Amino acid sequence: MKLLFSILSFMIIAQVGTSQSEMPTVFLLGENEKGYEQLARDYSQSLLEASNNDIRKAFNYWIDMMSAMDDYADKVRFDLKGVKVWLHVFWSADGKIDHLGYILRPDSRNVNTAELSAFFSSFTRSYRFPLKSQKKFNHYTGASFPTFVQRSN
């Protein structure tokens, strides 16, 4: 498994050198501000708006994705416990994760960012967000693992 993450880490590092107009799928927030600003313009609809302004629905979609990350981490034997990040996720209209930006929060467990990037990259290829929308959409928030928050009724 470490070999897989090493290979993925190399692929992530190679993508960081892309032009500012081409953002890698997974990136560290703050590393390519011009590309990041362009993503914000291109994915202007929020998760809440894509959820027809139903905050419970948007919250449940998000929590389900965080739980899916926990499950995926267990499946690939990647230790997410104690990791706390700021996440900015950008989805295509069909729910595919096009980009995921993150930065470790100061209160996070120390984790190798190349390995975490490789994990997120692998997750984005395997996961499909269940929400479909007319436009691309995004969501920015903090996340802590493991996910203890439950869906809202």
For 69-76, the CB contacts below 8 A with 24+ separation are 69/123, 69/127, 69/143, 69/145, 69/147, 70/145, 70/146, 70/147, 72/122, 72/123, 72/126, 72/127, 73/119, 73/145, 76/1, 76/4, 76/119, 76/122
Has residue 95 been placed in a domain?
yes
Cα–Cα distance, 105 to 69 (Å, whole number): 18
Has residue 150 been placed in a domain?
no
Q: What is the per-residue pLDDT across 45-75, written as a single tens digit (0 to 9) for each?
A: 999 999 999 999 999 999 999 999 999 999 9
Count of structural domains, the chain: 1
Has residue 91 been placed in a domain?
yes
Has residue 149 been placed in a domain?
no
For 92-103, what is the mean pLDDT?
97
Has residue 13 been placed in a domain?
yes
Has residue 116 been placed in a domain?
yes
Has residue 94 been placed in a domain?
yes
Residue 138 lies in domain: 2-144
pLDDT given for residue 148 in this prediction: 83
pLDDT given for residue 149 in this prediction: 73
Does the pLDDT of residue 8 top 90, yes or no?
Answer: no
Output the pTM of the full model.
0.84
